[in-house]
Structure 1
Amino acid sequence: MKKLGSFLILIVIAAMVTACGGGNNAPESGNAASNAPGADKGSAEQGDFKKLGDEPLKLTFYSTGATFTDVEFEAMIAGPIHAKYPNVTIERITPAATTTPEEVLSTHVPDIIFGSVQQRVIRTGVYQDLRELIKKHNFDESRLKPIGYDYIKDITKGKGDAVLALPFNINQHVMYYNKDIFDKFGVPYPTEKQLTWDEAVELGTKLTRTENGVNYIGLVVDNLTGLSKSLGLPYLDRETGQAALDTPDWLRVFELYKRILEIPGYITPDGTWNWTRDHFMKDQNVAIRVSWLANMVGPLEELRQQGVEFNWDIAPAPNFSDQLGTTREAQIHSIAINSQSPHQDEAFQVIAEILSDEGQRIIAKNGRVPAVINPELEKDYGAEIPVLQGKTVQNVFIGEPRQEHYIHPYESSISIRLTEAAEDLAINGLDVNSAIRKATEAINKDVETLKTTIGE
């Protein structure tokens, strides 16, 4: 009986290997490895690693630097993997909200790490170089969208050409709009036509009003940092680390944001100016919010499950008139393996499953843009997430997202200065040039401190 069981397992494994050959035109399988020309097939054929599902296994998962709700984790990762491999469970590490990634990673060894690739996390040494695992498992890197994979490789340059992560999904920007507010004020809805920022500001002006004690805000753009992504602008010079705000493009961003702030009624009498996701989703007094897909779709679904719904939809993200056809930068959500994990082979097989066509179809159906090259998957976008039913999801794919700018190691530490600059424009009375000058001086001072505390 034991021999028969072993024989059946070998048949299943052989069938999986056969299904994986042939690149993008191969039949779908649960494994994203392939028999691509030039791949080193020897290691995999020798079976010198533990096959996922052969033994009971618990892997741990930690998310850092990106919105990823428990509902999404279960739908996209834990649920599908356990369904296919009943012996395998993936448990999420959920620390207190005030805990930093460095603190979590110093006390836990999550096998799989999800999120945006952050320099602060790279410095901990937690990311495993995946090159040997890619080779051992015959993983076909050519299936990955360059906008995602090229960015990850660029951000990790200087680490000996190490591959520290693989893209999980491409997080794009869209325009969310509250149909109820448009209806209330008799304003026509946005369409599939990409608006210029001038048109978006005009639309937002029509929707910014106070009625029955409620301040309705027409257009929210995620402040200066959100707008800067329309042009793919770095905060710091890549070579020197100095502030990179004193440029014509950053001037355009500051001037546009100043125009939005100056819409009558945008800043309330009590000084409220920084309108957030909760104002759109929970208070429902924001008519338009331009923001990430992942920042909104998962939380909106969680809110729906709590019994809170309203009438909203999606349109393409606006851009400057000379940039139409492109949207904002795409943020790359990645998936990686802990360098200290005792289950690296099994964790990589989980990643390969997630990046297979089958796995990426699951994430597309649940509201994330796939990281692999397969246009057919876009047809399934949002199909299994109730909050997207009836929405104009095809507008997600109008306009080409930009590759994200190089994130300097100091960027997360100095980004607060851009929030302060937005506040200076909003309520501290600074003009655009003064706000840029003040932010530049503050950033450069921060950089000098950072050079002594975390190094060049």
Structure 2
Amino acid sequence: MMRKLGSVIVILLVIALISACGGNNDAPASKNDSTTAAATSNSSQEKADFKKLGDEPLTLTFYSTGATFTDVEFEAMIAGPIHAKYPNVKIERITPAATTTPEEVLSTHVPDIIFGSVQQRVIRTGVYQDLRELIKKHHFDESRLKPIGYGYIKEITKGQGDAVLALPFNINQHVLYYNKDIFDKFGVPYPTDKQLTWDEAVELGTKLTRTENGVNYIGLAVDNLTGLSKSLGLPYLDRETGQAALDTPEWLRVFELQKKILEIPGYVTPDGTWNWTRDNFMKDQNIAIRVSWLANMVGPLEELRQQGVEFNWDIAPAPNFSDQLGKTREAQIHSIAINSQSPHQDEAFQVIAEILSDEGQRIIAKNGRVPSIINAELEKDYGAEIPVLQGKTVQNVFIGEPIQEHYIHPYESSISIRLTEAAEDLAVKGLDVNSAIRKATDAINKDVETLKTTIGQ
């Protein structure tokens, strides 16, 4: 038996040698051989790219547009973690003057990575690289991304065909911030983890709006008409025509609620001050309740803490209309993208993939941002490493379902000032709700006609 087996082995070896030496080396490879060779080549190329990120000195530049992203957050969520994992890689932030437009920045700089909300004005510059090939090349799993984030990016970029111009970095949700010291001062119980209706929030705000020792305490600040409209996900402009979209029952509800807030006794001061902002809550500390974005407040509050300014505040769920309870407000999607002119697109994508990994998203959760990937475990880590959130009721961030952001028309940022003017008309000029809507509609439509001639459809 062993002798027969030895003979078989010898015969097989002879056949193999004949095939190797006498085979036709010029013959085309079989389909399977070609596939294997291509796969090996691709694998080698990918390994070379990853080696380049991991071993060679590399500096990538980063630009943030259209979203709050402090230097502290940039270091904690992006630059620091990437450099810790890849010591040879540095990510440097481009910080232009505050008055510089994105178009001006992008015409003079070539940032490798672009962060922020996906804006039509930036899309028009052609700066966003279509990521489809990089997604495929680096085997990035798109199914891990939350539909509320990735779906919105695809919706806002529909005019670019099937191009994937960005990936979601975080889901920017709304919460109710409240100053415990003001509640204590006036003996009013704190908000709980129960989502308030807007009527209940106005009633609470009324109890906390008063003047004492020359200080105007304001009970409820809501980011005005633009903020309130996010409870219902309302567009400012008709998507097809570009005309004002304010003449609807939903916008009427928003205007009526804005008027009700403005009419709280003491809300509008004798000198006509009515537009209460983040600085009033954080620095002046005369706002009892502010309903706003997470990203708009958490990072700046941490920066303020590092400057030695602290006060006693906490978080509750964002209010909504009584028939919308269970939902909060629109979720703004902060995205991360690659410059189409970047010479380091492979490396930049690897950085993005690292940021969107489970570990990368755990880091942003710990630093106060809601992750963009599907992993409920990360909610448990929310705020764990940002000192300003220690002791806060951070679980209230996740009470209520955010809704997908409305389609941002290319002209929206240019005409949003008309909504601020409308709120001012309600606050200090005595206009009724219907008159304010008509005036804003006329002003917006005139703006749109001008914009059509300057920047086109």
**Max Rg structure:** 2
2:292 paired with 1:291: yes
2:192 match: secondary structure:
coil
Match for residue 235 of structure 1?
A: 236
Report the alpha carbon displacement of residue 44 of structure 1 after superposing the two structures with TM: 5.1
Which AA in structure 2 matches 1:426? Answer: A
Q: Which residue of 1 aligns with 2:189?
A: 188
Quick one: which amino acid aligns to residue 59 of structure 1? L
Q: Distance in 2 between matches of 1:392 and 1:416?
A: 34
Report 1:250-261 matches (<5 A). Answer: 250-261=251-262
Q: CA deviation at 1:317?
A: 0.1
Please give the alpha-carbon distance, in whole angstroms, between the structure 2 residues aligned to 1:449 and 1:165. 30
* Whole-angstrom distance in 1 between the partners of 2:158 and 2:294: 28
The answer for the alignment partner of 2:438 in structure 1 is 437
Local SS of the residue matching 2:171? strand
Partner residue in 1 for 2:283 = 282
Give how far 1:46 is off: 3.4
What per-residue deviation string (whole Å, max 9, x for no partner) do you get for residues 352-380 of structure 1?
Answer: 00000000000000000000000000000
Instruction: Give the match for residue 417 of structure 1.
Output: 418
| Residue of structure 2 in register with 1:50 after alignment | 49
Number of residue pairs aligned between Structure 1 and Structure 2: 417
| 1:248-289: CA deviation from partner (whole Å, max 9, x where unpaired) | 000000000000000000000111000000000000000000
Provide the C-alpha distance between the structure 2 equivalents of 1:42 and 1:455, rounded to a whole number of angstroms: 48
Stretches of structure 1 that go unaligned for 5 or more consecutive residues are 1-39
Q: Which residue of 1 aligns with 2:356?
A: 355
- What is the aligned partner in structure 1 of residue 107 from structure 2? 106
Instruction: Give the whole-Å Cα distance in 1 for the aligned partners of 2:380 and 2:96.
Output: 36
**Partner residue, 2:140:** 139
Q: Relative to structure 2, which stretch is displaced further, 444-453 or 316-325?
A: 444-453
Q: Look up the equivalent residue of 1:163 and give its one-letter code.
A: V
More helix by share: 2
Deviations along 1:17-66, whole A, 9 cap, x unmatched? xxxxxxxxxxxxxxxxxxxxxxx977752325522222100000000000
Q: What is the TM-score with the length of structure 2 in the denominator?
A: 0.90
The alpha-carbon deviation at position 451 of structure 1 amounts to 1.0
Contact 1:43 1:136 in 2 (8 A): no
Paired with 2:55 and 2:209, the residues of 1 have a C-alpha distance of: 59
Change (3 A) 1:41 1:422: farther
Specify the SS of the correspondent of 1:339: coil
Asked if the contact 1:41/1:136 (under 8 Å) is kept, the reply is no
C-alpha separation in 2, matches of 1:308 and 1:453: 45
Give the distance between the partners of 1:273 and 1:441, measured in 2 at CA: 24
Does the 8 Å contact 1:41/1:138 carry over to 2?
no
Question: Closer, same or farther in 2 for the Cα pair 1:400/1:245, shift >3 Å?
Answer: same
Separation of aligned partners in 1, 2:448 and 2:163: 26
Which amino acid in 2 is paired with 1:423?
E
Amino acid at match of 2:309: V
Which consecutive aligned stretches of 4+ in structure 1 deviate over 3 angstroms post-superposition? 40-44
| Structure 1: distance between partners of 2:113 and 2:275 | 35
Change (3 A) 1:41 1:383: farther
* 139-148 or 41-50, larger mean C-alpha shift: 41-50
Question: CA separation in 2, counterparts of 1:428 and 1:179?
Answer: 33
* Mapping for residues 122-271 of structure 1, pairs under 5 Å: 122-271=123-272
User: For residues 296 and 370 of structure 1, what CA distance do their matches in structure 2 show?
Assistant: 17
Task: Find the aligned partners of 2:406 and 2:442 in 1 and give their Cα distance.
Answer: 22
Identity of aligned residues (%): 92
Deviations 1:60-79 (A, max 9, x none): 00000000000000000000
Structure 1 length as normaliser, TM-score?
A: 0.90
Instruction: Give distance in 1, aligned partners of 2:55 and 2:453.
Output: 49
Rate the CA distance shift 1:44–1:369 in 2: closer, same or farther, 3 A.
farther
